Structure 1
Amino acid sequence: MTGRGSAGGLATVTVVGASLAGLHAARELRAQGYDGRLVVVGAEPHAPYDRPPLSKGFLTGASPEASLALTDGEEMAALDAEWRLGVAASALDPRDRAVLLSDGRRVPTDGVVIATGATARPLPGPRYAGVHTLRTLDDARALRGELTNGTRRVVIIGGGFIGAETASSCVALGHHVTVVEAAPLPLVPQLGPDMAAFCADLHRRGGARLLTGTSVARLRSTTGGTSPHPGADAGRTPLGPLGADAVRTPLGSLGADTTLPYSGAGPAPLLPDADPAPLRISADPAPLLPGTGSTPPRTGAGPALLPANSGAPDRPEAPGRVTAVELADGRLLPADVVVVGIGALPNTAWLANSGLPLRDGVLCDEGCVTPLPQVVAVGDVARVNGARAEHWTSATEQPRVAVRNLLAGHTVESVTALPYFWSDQYGSRIQFAGHRHPDATVRVVEGDPGEGAFLAVYEHEGRPTAALAVDLPRPFLRVWRELRARHAAVAGGGDRSPGGRAEPYEVRGALGSRTAQARAGPGGLVSRGREPRAGGRTQEGGGLDPRRGRRSGGGRGARAAGRGTRQEWDS
């Protein structure tokens, strides 16, 4: 097998998840010198694509599907990976060192990067036509199709970032939009009450109707049936208020802390090369992202998302189409289209019998390492050092640290990235960086919220900890750099050397304009992307190629620093 003597004794590494975090993990493996067999498993049939534009430019039609591509055929070939797309991972077998796939195949492996992301939290009950979530490309295709058939009455359940961006896009398309938020104000957990009030006013100024302090009781349909939801009837078990995409209570069904059952005295024997006919890029892949100049590879024929890889329970299809949303206070909102934006669930169901500790994500140490040293987790699915945060820094910064620790066989570096996100709503750009302490005070240091453009700094115990800007990108970038330097000093790490960590950016060049972004999630900030800056994606040194976001320098034969004695799966 190729690379039998490769980095850290890992003949095969399997990346489970082919979205932003999974792609970055594959890039990092090659950039850090891993030259063994690399397998990338993706539940969706699509090549890696950018999710955040789905609620903005893609939904309105301003951004073509081709612009969503995060990679191309050239880079995918250069990574020399086996791309198994359209098939989900169904289980992880640590004893036999294998990832089991939903089509029955097994992938023997020596190391695993878990990057399965999260699934949009659905409303409980049957699924009526016209009710949508917005997480995947297929979700966005379906919703966009409904929004192009004349003026519609759109009800959006959830006033978080996904709900707000979707509402903004629907208003831009000429639809009648109502946003339902269970909390008194949207986005209070992320921004605090003062700045949340500003965001609430964006809905009103932008042309959407915002209803706060009320939850959804049920949906009504053309068949006369109803789909009950929390707060509908006495005696029903409430699942928590709907409409707050920041409400993310860990669900017991996702697992709890467990004790690893494998405690053998020595390393488990390596499996022989029992995976016949490794499946590589198809010779005639179906064009899934037209117009990219390449046809993303597809292997397998599984559905875009299988229950084995999902954090959300299956719901039965229901006859009829949604006609109205009934609120807990008795009001009835006529609806042709309903969009549910009430948070996300980490995709951990496939790990239920793996022995890994699961609690609102995969529990990891500060270096993304799980109790099994050959298994690391990154991105939306990873609960790193007690926190799970679905923002850009999770998906793009964690893989570098996780891969280094995977190749070393133990934790040699910790994640120290400063959370960052941005969001476009009703023509305004909102940017946030840092950690907002619940007791923080907020001070406007530039501009005026009443005029729509301002910069605010959050302070706790006399120190700045976070910043929020609306339509002031340059002042924000200055404060962001100061926060990053302070955060790095407190974390005892500092920026990546050489060249520093990637700054917020937008690339404009031969490939057009592309922003790489991440998505909202429980336990942390909601990342919406990167911000304009002069030049390429990083400062000087080994960083990201500004043309395609791939790593420059550190070729396939390079050695990764910090490789130590490996621990085995069963040790």
Structure 2
Amino acid sequence: MARTVIVGASVGGVRTAQALRAAGYDGEIVLIGDEDVPPYDKPPLSKALLAGTTTADRIGLLRANAAAEARVELALGNAATGVDREHRQVLLTDGTSQFYDDLVIATGARARPSPWGTPPGVHVLRSLADAEALGVALRAGGPLVVIGAGFIGAEVAATALGIGLDNVSVVDPVPVPLSRVLNPDVAAVFGALHTTRGVHTRFGVGVTDVKETGDGLEVYLDDGSVLPAATVVVGIGAVPNDDWLAGSGIPTDDGVLCDSHCRSIEDPHIWAVGDVARWWHPRYGRSVRLEHWTNAVEQAVCVAHNITHPEALRDHTPVEYVWSDQYDWKVQLVGRTGGEIAHVRVDGADPERSFAVLYADESDRFIGALTVNWPKALITCRRLLNRADAVPSSLPEVRALVDDVRRAARMGAR
């Protein structure tokens, strides 16, 4: 009987196991996870779980009874340490191994560590244990300093204010938040969002050190100022968990290197899914790695199909999609955004808190969108970017359609 071993028990690994069964795979499935808790979803960690509006039980991805029903063996609390490709075995921390016919690497990414050390009170946020420890620290009160104004940093700051902290600072050397995914003028809107809600924003200023004092922590900035803190959250990006593959002969370069089918470029029986996968994207003509929940889910389905139907391999050609909840704003991005890409803003029914930003390439072809509190505009943009005929829409065409969405919404409100 065929045997697939999946290393990594977050959304990518769990959805691969489920998708294998949905695709008709009848072999054995083993799901290996390094944490000794049942698989759980990670987006709520910086939002609902940290805020205390949900619990660890409610964000579970695969309970033991559901795993048993699907004939998925859970091997939790025993991290993978290497791969013996010659004998097709995954080596584990406790000295045992798991044989595979196909291996799916879904080990995700870990928080980039603090370059200023980790004295008591300094946190990162990537795991359930991280979120639970941070929640305890925030509820103890005191100033919070968030280093990094990406999605994690922005969400933690918003959540902290929501649970009652009244002294929250966000520090980042970039001049505007979310600078990796938004162009400066649009990103400035989000900087203003945090400022108006009461966050002390220190953009364009770097951190030089974090020191423990008798009363807590001090965060030293490169402009000479010092911020007192009871808690510091370091949110400066993520690193793919591929170092455990060293010596296996599986090629990695900021992720496991794969072809367009998400199959290792070196071994046809090894696949990668989620944040750890770097695969050849046919639509873009280059290798990409995406740290998006939706990509992990879609990639899992693609890999499960390819394992089950090797005679009819599919390419993985997703259109990027990511969302973030900050205060009462629902922020959604689809396709390619940010940088120097040409863009135009279209206001929704309430321009102060509802709008879309449409992006186009040098040929004026629509390639991406940001929407804020405007789900119908997001649906329109995703449909156009995913259109089956693969004919790109023009930016004026998309703007006209989004304008139609706004007019229809206003008519419905009358």
Query: Same fold per TM (> 0.5)?
Result: yes
2: distance between equivalents of 1:451 and 1:66?
37
1:139 is aligned to 2:135: no
Task: Give the C-alpha shift of residue 147 in structure 1.
Answer: 1.4
List per-residue Cα deviations over 1:498-533 (Å, max 9, x = no partner): xxxxxxxxxxxxxxxxxxxxxxxxxxxxxxxxxxxx
Within the candidate set 285, 300, 315, 1:414 is matched to 315
Matched with 2:110 is 119
Q: Which amino acid counterpart does residue 168 of structure 1 have in structure 2? A: A
Alpha carbons 1:202, 1:425 under 8 Å: kept: no
Alpha carbons 1:89, 1:350 under 8 Å: kept: yes
1: distance between equivalents of 2:245 and 2:42?
24
Matched with 1:177 is 168
1:59 is aligned to 2:50: yes
Matched with 1:436 is 337
2: distance between equivalents of 1:156 and 1:79?
41
Secondary structure at the aligned position of 1:415 is classed as coil
Q: Which amino acid counterpart does residue 21 of structure 1 have in structure 2? A: G
List per-residue Cα deviations over 1:157-199 (Å, max 9, x = no partner): 0000000000001111221100001111111220111211111
Shift in alpha-carbon separation, 1:435–1:441, aligned structure 2, 3 A: same
Q: Which amino acid counterpart does residue 431 of structure 1 have in structure 2? A: Q
List per-residue Cα deviations over 1:105-133 (Å, max 9, x = no partner): 01111110000000001112532110000
Task: Give the C-alpha shift of residue 330 in structure 1.
Answer: 1.3
1: distance between equivalents of 2:339 and 2:152?
22
2: distance between equivalents of 1:437 and 1:325?
30
Shift in alpha-carbon separation, 1:322–1:350, aligned structure 2, 3 A: farther
Task: Give the C-alpha shift of residue 35 in structure 1.
Answer: 1.3
1: distance between equivalents of 2:8 and 2:125?
18
Matched with 1:168 is 158
Q: Which amino acid counterpart does residue 368 of structure 2 have in structure 1? A: A
Alpha carbons 2:24, 2:308 under 8 Å: kept: no
Within the candidate set 241, 247, 253, 1:347 is matched to 241
Q: Which amino acid counterpart does residue 466 of structure 1 have in structure 2? A: G
* Greater mean alpha carbon deviation, residues 11-20 or residues 58-67: 58-67
Within the candidate set 242, 246, 267, 1:372 is matched to 267
1: distance between equivalents of 2:110 and 2:139?
25
Shift in alpha-carbon separation, 1:173–1:405, aligned structure 2, 3 A: same
Alpha carbons 1:465, 1:483 under 8 Å: kept: yes
Alpha carbons 1:219, 1:322 under 8 Å: kept: no
Task: Give the C-alpha shift of residue 480 in structure 1.
Answer: 1.8
1:384 is aligned to 2:279: yes
2: distance between equivalents of 1:426 and 1:155?
18
2: distance between equivalents of 1:436 and 1:60?
29
1: distance between equivalents of 2:337 and 2:49?
31
Matched with 1:232 is none
**What aligned pairs does 1:145-224 form with structure 2 within 5 A after superposition?**
145-149=136-140, 151-175=141-165, 176-222=167-213
CA-atom RMSD in angstroms: 1.8
Q: Which amino acid counterpart does residue 399 of structure 1 have in structure 2? A: A
1: distance between equivalents of 2:268 and 2:162?
49
Secondary structure at the aligned position of 1:139 is classed as helix
Shift in alpha-carbon separation, 1:490–1:372, aligned structure 2, 3 A: farther
Task: Give the C-alpha shift of residue 446 in structure 1.
Answer: 3.1
What runs of 5+ residues in structure 1 fail to find an aligned partner? 5-10, 224-320, 492-571
Matched with 2:88 is 97
Task: Give the C-alpha shift of residue 89 in structure 1.
Answer: 0.2
**What aligned pairs does 1:283-298 form with structure 2 within 5 A after superposition?**
none
Alpha carbons 1:374, 1:409 under 8 Å: kept: no
1:83 is aligned to 2:89: no
List per-residue Cα deviations over 1:302-361 (Å, max 9, x = no partner): xxxxxxxxxxxxxxxxxxx85110012211000100001000001111100110111101
Matched with 1:462 is 364
Within the candidate set 60, 66, 75, 1:69 is matched to 60
Matched with 1:43 is 34
1: distance between equivalents of 2:44 and 2:129?
13
Q: Which amino acid counterpart does residue 348 of structure 1 have in structure 2? A: D
Shift in alpha-carbon separation, 1:345–1:490, aligned structure 2, 3 A: farther
1: distance between equivalents of 2:311 and 2:106?
19
Secondary structure at the aligned position of 2:390 is classed as helix
Count of residues in Structure 1 that have an aligned counterpart in Structure 2? 383
List per-residue Cα deviations over 1:514-567 (Å, max 9, x = no partner): xxxxxxxxxxxxxxxxxxxxxxxxxxxxxxxxxxxxxxxxxxxxxxxxxxxxxx
Task: Give the C-alpha shift of residue 410 in structure 1.
Answer: 7.4
Secondary structure at the aligned position of 1:18 is classed as coil
Which structure features the higher share of strand residues?
A: 2
Which structure features the higher share of helix residues?
A: 2
Q: Which amino acid counterpart does residue 418 of structure 1 have in structure 2? A: V
1: distance between equivalents of 2:10 and 2:155?
21
1:326 is aligned to 2:220: yes
Matched with 1:338 is 232
2: distance between equivalents of 1:73 and 1:354?
31
Deviant stretches of 4+, over 4 Å? 408-411
Q: Which amino acid counterpart does residue 143 of structure 2 have in structure 1? A: R
Q: Which amino acid counterpart does residue 4 of structure 2 have in structure 1? A: V
Secondary structure at the aligned position of 2:288 is classed as coil
1: distance between equivalents of 2:240 and 2:387?
31
Secondary structure at the aligned position of 1:104 is classed as coil
Alpha carbons 2:117, 2:210 under 8 Å: kept: no
Within the candidate set 472, 486, 506, 2:374 is matched to 472
Q: Which amino acid counterpart does residue 290 of structure 2 have in structure 1? A: A
Task: Give the C-alpha shift of residue 408 in structure 1.
Answer: 4.2
What runs of 5+ residues in structure 2 fail to find an aligned partner? 281-286, 393-414
Q: Which amino acid counterpart does residue 161 of structure 1 have in structure 2? A: F
Secondary structure at the aligned position of 2:107 is classed as coil
Matched with 1:290 is none
2: distance between equivalents of 1:160 and 1:362?
24
Task: Give the C-alpha shift of residue 100 in structure 1.
Answer: 0.3
Secondary structure at the aligned position of 1:76 is classed as helix
Alpha carbons 1:222, 1:322 under 8 Å: kept: yes
2: distance between equivalents of 1:181 and 1:124?
14
List per-residue Cα deviations over 1:425-450 (Å, max 9, x = no partner): 12111111111274422112232886
List per-residue Cα deviations over 1:7-45 (Å, max 9, x = no partner): xxxx21100001100001101111122211211100111
